[in-house]
């Protein structure tokens, strides 16, 4: 007997986001707080700013708003420490550099540093293969945001092509 498509387990299931948002700047953070989330793990590049760009006024303002709501913030990035520290310091957030995403280790360490659990933490990023997969591996609720800019390094362009294949299966399983 053939199961309906929606009941099949895709090989890509661990890469599927729990939610989508147009931007990290349009998420209903007050709603997340009401649902019991207390910690937010952000990616940097193309999630909050363009690749290798410094923190913008918009990113700093968002961080201040989130802290005022009551969230603890962590930046978890595969970038080197100078990039991540400078960005996190501008936001007043903790950070983990060279996280080796999609490894779950950076997410687990971030939760430990924030004093949150997988049930009270949300991860936000623009890449399925690093940000979302890592969050899923750590058991963390996640939101995939659209990349802020089209211009990206070649290694990311290749990942975006893989993401299109993954999203094809995601849409057809729904």
In a domain, 10, yes or no: no
Number of domains in the chain: 1
In a domain, 7, yes or no: no
pLDDT at 14: 81
CB 47, CB 68: distance < 8 Å:
no
pLDDT at 15: 81
pLDDT at 62: 98
In a domain, 140, yes or no: yes
Which of the pair, 15 or 46, is modelled with greater confidence?
Answer: 46
In a domain, 4, yes or no: no
In a domain, 50, yes or no: yes
In a domain, 65, yes or no: yes
Residue 38, φ and ψ in degrees, nearest 5:
-130, -15
In a domain, 8, yes or no: no
* 116-168 confidence digits (pLDDT tens): 999 999 999 998 989 999 999 999 999 999 988 667 656 665 566 667 666 66
In a domain, 53, yes or no: yes
pLDDT at 173: 66
Sign for the pseudo-dihedral over CA of 30, 59, 20, 39: negative
DSSP secondary-structure letter at 54? P
Residues comprising the chain, all counted: 174
Q: What is the DSSP string of 107-146?
A: HHHHHHHHT--TTSEEEEES-IIIIIHHHHHHT-EEEEE-
- Where in the sequence is the domain holding 21, given as residue range(s)? 15-173
pTM of the entire predicted model: 0.84
Structure tokens at 109: 């360490």
List the one residue out of 95, 14, 85, 18 whose CA is nearest residue 54: 85
Which of the pair, 170 or 65, is modelled with greater confidence?
Answer: 65
Determine how β-strand 141-145 pairs with β-strand 19-21.
parallel
Domain of residue 165, CATH code:
3.40.50.1000
State yes or no: pLDDT of 58 exceeds 50: yes
Q: CB under 8 Å to 35, separation ≥6 — which residues?
A: none
* 70-127 confidence digits (pLDDT tens): 999 999 999 999 999 999 999 999 999 999 999 999 999 999 999 999 999 999 999 8
């Amino acid at each position: 007997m053939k199961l309906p498509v929606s009941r099949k387990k895709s090989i890509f299931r661990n890469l599927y986001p729990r939610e989508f948002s147009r931007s990290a700047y349009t998420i209903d953070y007050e709603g997340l707080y009401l649902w019991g989330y207390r910690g937010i793990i952000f990616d940097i590049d193309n999630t909050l700013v363009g690749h290798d760009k410094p923190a913008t006024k918009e990113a700093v303002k968002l961080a201040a708003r989130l802290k005022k709501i009551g969230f603890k913030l962590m930046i978890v990035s595969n970038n080197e420490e100078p990039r991540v520290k400078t960005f996190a310091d501008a936001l007043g957030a903790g950070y983990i550099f060279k996280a080796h995403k999609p490894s779950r280790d950076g997410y687990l360490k971030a939760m430990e540093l924030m004093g949150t659990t997988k049930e009270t933490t949300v991860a936000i990023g623009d890449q399925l293969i690093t940000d979302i997969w890592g969050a899923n591996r750590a058991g963390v609720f996640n939101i995939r945001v659209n990349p802020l800019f089209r211009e990206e390094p070649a290694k990311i362009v290749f990942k975006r092509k893989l993401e299109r294949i993954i999203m094809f299966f995601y849409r057809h399983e729904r």
